[in-house]
Amino acid sequence: MEALELARWQFGITTVYHFILVPLTIGLAPLVALMQTFWWCTGKDHWLKLTNFFGKILLINFALGVATGIVQEFQFGMNWSEYSRFVGDIFGAPLAIEALAAFFLESTFLGLWLFGKERLSKGLHLACIWMVAIGVNLSAYWIIAANSWMQHPVGAVYNAETGRAELDGIGGFLEVITNNTAIAAFGHAVAAAFLVAGTLVAGVCGWWIVRTVRGAGSPASGLAHEGDQAEAEARHVWRPGAMVGLITVVISGVAVILTGHHQGQLMYEQQPMKMASAEAVCDGGESVPLSILAIGDLSNDCENAIHLFELPGVTSFMGTNSFAGEESYLPGVNDVQAEYEELYGEGVDYRPNLVVTYWSFRLMIGLGVFSAALAVWGLWALRGGRVTGSRWFSRLCLVSLPMPFLASSFGWIFTEMGRQPWVVHPNPDNPVDQVWLRTADGVSTVVTSTTVLTSLVTFTLLYAALGVVWFWLVRRYVREGIDPAPAPEPDPADDDQPLSFAY
C-alpha cells in the first residue's frame, strides 16, 4: 500500500474511534447539568445521586475523548502536510478558536465542577457544569465549521503565486463561521449527540429498574433489595432518570429527522455526487425511489446494482420536497461524473466508494430504530408512575446502548467517504475559483509508507487498549449503581491497594 492509502486508513481509524466518544460528551453534559438543576430547584436527593452517577461517566468519557482527539492535530501537519499548506490559512482559524476558547472553557469549568464540589456554593457549582455544557457544544460548532468548509468552501480566495487558499479578510472569516453547511451539520450533529446521551441514560436506568425490581441489588454493595425497598429505589431514583433519557430520545429523534432532511437537501445542492451515491442512483430522473436494499456489484460501475425493495418517489422528496413532476428531478452518479469531468478535468473518477457510501447511509438511519423502540417501550412500561421487571425490556436497554454510537459513526463515515475523491470539495456556486483539493494531492510528499504504516499499527493498538479501558471503566461504574459499597479506610502500611474513582 502506498503512503496515501495508509494515511487515509490511519486518519479514518483514529477519527472514527475518537468520534465514538464525542457525541456522548456533547449530549451528556447538558443532561447532567439538567439533573443537577432539578436537585438545586427541588432539593430531592435522588437528583443529586443521578447527577453524581452520570457525572462520573461524563468525566471518564471526556478524559478518553481528549486523549484520542489530540492525535488528529498532529496528522494534519505530518501525513497531510500538503493539505495543511493549502488550507492552513482558513482551516487553522476555527481550530485555534476551538482550542483557546471552547476547549479551555469546558476543561477549566469541568475541573472546577470536579474538585469544587465541597468548596463552591450550590449555585456556583451548578453554574460550572452549565459552562461545561455550553463549552462542549461551542467546541463542536468550531470543529464542524472547519469540517464544513472542506465540504463547502466559502470566504476564501486562491492565491496563484503561493498555490494556497487564503481567507478573504474579516468578511471571509464571517462567511466561514456562518456557512449554511456548518449550521445544518451542527444542528444534525447535536441532535444525534442528544440521541446518544438520551439512549445511554434511558438504557442504564431502565436496566437498573428491572434489576432492582427483581431484587438483584447492586453488585458493588452486595446488597439485595426486596419488597418496598426495591420498589422505592426503582420508582423514586431510577425511574426519574429513565424518564429524562426517554424524553430526550423522543425530542432528539424528531430533531435528527428534521435536521437530517434539511441537511440532505443541502447536500443535493452542494454535493450531488454524495447523495446520488448514497442511493446508488446511476442516472438521474424524476420521482427517484428510495432504495431499501440493493444487491449485486456495488462497485463504482453502479449499473450492476439490483434494487430489490424501493419506495417510489421518496428520494426525490428527500432532495426536493416533491414526490413527482419536474421539480422532483435529481441527478445520478453518471450525470454528476460527466459534469465534473467537464468542470475539473477528464481522466479522474469523481465517484466515491459506492459500497461504503450506500451502506453507511442505511446503517446510520437503521440503527436509530433501536433508540426509537426503547423510547416507545420505556414510555409505555413506565407510564403513570409504574416500574417494570420485564427481562425483555432489560435486554432491549442493553442492546440499544451501542446502537446510536454506531449510527453516529456511520453517519460520519458517510459524510467523509461520500466527499471523495475531494478533501476540499469544490463550491458549485464558484466552479472556477480553484479553491478545491483532491485527497491524493493533500498527502505529504516526504512521509514514506513505512513511516505511516508504523504509526498506523502503533495507534491502532493503542486505541484498542484505550477502548478496552473505556469500556471497562464505564461498565464497572454503571454496575456499581447509585449507592456502591463504601470503600474501606486505607491502610497506610499497605502499598498494594486498588485505585477507585469517586465523584
Q: What is the SS3 assignment for 423? A: strand
CB 268 within 8 A of CB 308: no
pLDDT for the residue numbered 324 = 84
Q: How far is CA 302 from CA 278, 286, 294, 455, in A?
A: 11, 19, 10, 35
CB 208 within 8 A of CB 165: no
Distance CA 289, CA 492 (A): 71
Residue 15 per-residue DSSP state: H
CB 205 within 8 A of CB 251: no
Distance CA 340, CA 362 (A): 26
CA 7 from centroid of its chain's CA atoms? 22
Q: Which residue has the cell 446511476?
A: 282
CB 419 within 8 A of CB 425: yes
Beta bridge partners of 305: 296
Closest CA to 149 of 170, 166, 169: 166
Distance CA 486, CA 223 (A): 12
Q: Supply the angle between the helices 239-270 and 45-77 in degrees, to the nearest 10.
A: 30
Other beta carbons within 10 Å of 311 = 11
Distance CA 330, CA 144 (A): 27
Other beta carbons within 10 Å of 466 = 15
In one letter, which amino acid is 277? S
Phi and psi of 43, rounded to 5°?
75, 5
The three cell numbers of residue 325 are 413532476
pLDDT for the residue numbered 223 = 44
CB 310 within 8 A of CB 290: yes
DSSP per residue over 306-345, as a string? EEEEEETTHHHHHHHS-SSSGGG-B--HHHHHHHHHHHH-
Q: pTM to 2 decimals? A: 0.90
Q: Supply the angle between the helices 122-151 and 180-213 in degrees, to the nearest 10.
A: 130
The three cell numbers of residue 28 are 451528556
The three cell numbers of residue 355 are 459500497
pLDDT for the residue numbered 388 = 87
pLDDT for the residue numbered 408 = 93
Would you say the C-alpha torsion 437, 145, 97, 115 has a positive or negative sign?
negative
Other beta carbons within 10 Å of 43 = 10
Kindly list the averaged pLDDT for each block of 10 residues, start to end, along the chain of length 503. Answer: 88 87 94 96 92 94 85 83 90 86 87 90 94 93 92 90 89 92 94 96 94 67 52 84 95 95 90 88 83 70 73 84 84 89 87 88 92 95 89 94 94 90 88 84 90 90 91 92 62 58 55
Distance CA 321, CA 328 (A): 8
In one letter, which amino acid is 363? L
Closest CA to 277 of 238, 315, 224, 322: 315
Closest CA to 192 of 257, 266, 148: 257
Closest CA to 133 of 54, 213, 223, 249: 54
